[in-house]
Structure 1
């Protein structure tokens, strides 16, 4: 195995020094393409730009993979089909024995009719715009890091698979099987959600599930036939109280009832009500406990409801918890050491948020996420990123790729 010194790596990392403005211009251009998860036309335009950029790096396999349709509960309480954009896959050096998986999404939370559509520089080191941090800035970092690595003497000694998915912001329901499949082809993964503004990474991540409770009753005139009706809204209110009560039963979970739908004119007994809620769990044991409690709670609500009322549950967990242990812990320490070489202090904190790193961890692949740009206020019209972090974070990832190729991974010394 080839060994080298940090000084040798710096010769190749220095190529990034003059790249910041070009990276910024690309990010501004990408930010102006609305690629909200449900905007299939915008996602396709974004996919074309991304494919062009990655193909320009040199010989690579480039694929646009269709994702399966999914189901969700519509406002009428019935399942409806949800269609996704395409997963982009770029593979470099398929002949290499060791492979890195680099993952991030190209969808955003901003729909096509959002007023937040363009990026602008608010000061010398701050860019404000949709997706600039979450996560088109991260794609810029991947692109520059891979280009830097391929120019280096170790540029053929590590296989790289880049996956860019179009549905992460809604739980990666369509892309999850492809992520799990890719996890079996790699030894480690790097993910490019934004870091915190000071560069801190996300460590352990909670799991997440999205659910809908659908209550159906019987409509009736509120004045002439009130007692013939069966009020779905009132029945749902009882269920919501029981759901919220689960928060007091287990301190390591949170259940947030977030959206209510149903009802209509005040002179009609409502026959439909829907509650949508999210659950966060710290451990796999939490998830199993919650699944059991939800099944029991909904079954009891349905069994004890007055005649003519039905209560059903839809949805499930899409992100298992990500715990920092074993090879994942070793990988975090390895990233911290690389940051130290570059003068970038690396720390991490647990978070209630989740990402595709949860899915890859569940598939058994060690991974570090939030290696994207430094930024904040994501999922709002105040989203921003730190301009200087474009080349800063690209240097870190390029160094990780070179070290993986030249020195191997931290746990390989165990053999």
Structure 2
């Protein structure tokens, strides 16, 4: 481990005493699917107790209001869990942001609830990599940094309860926490070989309500206005907006009814994946034009709900410097750190949009996330905690990237 100074060695030694694996197993044993409010409450309390050992003020923040469009076209509020927010030394000259999420994609009734060790030593469990393990190593890294003492470093930690569904109730909290930060680290899992996510595209999710007019399908069908047909036309028009840097996925149409009734209601769900900011404008223009044309040609009412909630995350010069620092730290630890672009999105997109350099896959090495085969390599806990601790210490000592 050449290039590592005495203080950094002390921080690494402290990591050897951390109960990272025990915390990971304990937290992964709590079902905290985004809609499982009881499970999220349990998880939030456990995290608040664990992160409360750090100096500063730790609190649980109520979620911002969020709405959704139901299958019958109504707009109704959605419940979310509380978000953890920790502030340490807010007046220190060097400020950083660390983020993660406590929710998983596995609802309370999902069959994948158990944790087991596989024959090759990997641990399989719900949220074990995404990101209960990431939260455990983040805490261990911060405990190690505090153990060696870095008074010129201040930071905020945000662990939200709704990342898996878009962070709608926590986006404002994350944006506020990002203000004035020199850099941010987020604890999504790295790939199994340790590769990090580099540039990311963006995403936008929309529910488009089409209201037609019912009529008897045999006696007077021409008096009706078929909402299913109109929504299908809308889906086809939007799919034609697809391009090399803009993926368009009309994913579902809700609505309809008995075969002898012209359907008066349909809801089209569609996802856009823009590679750059200019593609957001292109997608929005296509959406506006298609909605207007369908409304006019089918004589229906079209209501568009949704937004582009994750901006694209390019590798700008600040991000490149941060990735370079992480790679240098990795080399000093004997790790070969690489990164590549990905089509996935996370809170790193939103942090980058605030002008803060971010590496958003500082979590464990793992894989098969969002499936019943999700796993982590347990040896990556201390490995990645060391990568974080030394990255934090070097940013604090230098004061910049």
- TM class by shorter chain equals over 0.9
Counterpart of 1:105 (choices 94, 101, 106) is 101
- How many residue pairs end up in the alignment? 399
Q: CA deviation at 1:204?
A: 0.4
Contact 1:68-1:83 at 8 Å conserved across structures: no
Q: Counterparts of 2:70 and 2:327 in 1: how far apart (Å)?
A: 45
**Structure 2 residue aligned with 1:301:** 294
1:33 lines up with 2:30 in the alignment: yes
Counterpart of 1:43 (choices 11, 26, 40) is 40
**Structure 1 residue aligned with 2:135:** 139
State the Cα deviation string for residues 307-343 of structure 1 (Å, max 9, x = none): 4x22222111000000101211111111111111001
Counterpart of 1:251 (choices 244, 248, 251) is 244
Q: CA deviation at 1:94?
A: 2.9
Q: Structure 1's 235 and 351: CA in aligned 2 closer, same or farther, altered over 3 A?
A: same
State the Cα deviation string for residues 92-113 of structure 1 (Å, max 9, x = none): 2334210110001111111111
State the Cα deviation string for residues 338-378 of structure 1 (Å, max 9, x = none): 11100111111001111111111111111111000011111
* Between 212-221 and 384-393, the greater mean CA deviation after superposition: 212-221
Counterpart of 1:213 (choices 208, 211, 216) is 208
Q: Counterparts of 1:124 and 1:92 in 2: how far apart (Å)?
A: 40
Structure 2 SS opposite 1:6: coil
**Structure 2 residue aligned with 1:6:** 4
Q: Counterparts of 1:163 and 1:304 in 2: how far apart (Å)?
A: 47
State the Cα deviation string for residues 53-86 of structure 1 (Å, max 9, x = none): 11124x3211111121111111111211112211
State the Cα deviation string for residues 20-43 of structure 1 (Å, max 9, x = none): xx3222211111211111111111
Q: Counterparts of 1:254 and 1:93 in 2: how far apart (Å)?
A: 43
**Structure 2 residue aligned with 1:187:** 182
Counterpart of 2:350 (choices 359, 367, 375) is 359
Gaps of 5+ in 1: 411-415
Structure 1 SS opposite 2:5: helix
**Structure 2 residue aligned with 1:347:** 338
Matches within 5 A, 1:156-305: 156-247=151-242, 250-305=243-298
Q: Counterparts of 1:330 and 1:36 in 2: how far apart (Å)?
A: 35
**Structure 1 residue aligned with 2:68:** 72
Structure 2 SS opposite 1:269: coil
**Structure 2 residue aligned with 1:114:** 110
What do you get for the CA RMSD once the two structures are aligned?
Answer: 1.6
**Structure 2 residue aligned with 1:62:** 58
Contact 2:124-2:373 at 8 Å conserved across structures: yes
Q: CA deviation at 1:15?
A: 2.5
Contact 1:201-1:347 at 8 Å conserved across structures: yes
**Structure 2 residue aligned with 1:313:** 304
1:84 lines up with 2:83 in the alignment: no
State the Cα deviation string for residues 260-294 of structure 1 (Å, max 9, x = none): 21112222221111111110111111111111221
Q: CA deviation at 1:402?
A: 1.4
State the Cα deviation string for residues 156-197 of structure 1 (Å, max 9, x = none): 231121110111111111111111111113211001001011
Q: Counterparts of 2:371 and 2:265 in 1: how far apart (Å)?
A: 31
Contact 1:71-1:81 at 8 Å conserved across structures: yes
State the Cα deviation string for residues 88-135 of structure 1 (Å, max 9, x = none): 111223342101100011111111111112221113531111111111
Structure 1 SS opposite 2:11: helix
Q: Counterparts of 1:406 and 1:345 in 2: how far apart (Å)?
A: 23
**Structure 2 residue aligned with 1:24:** 21
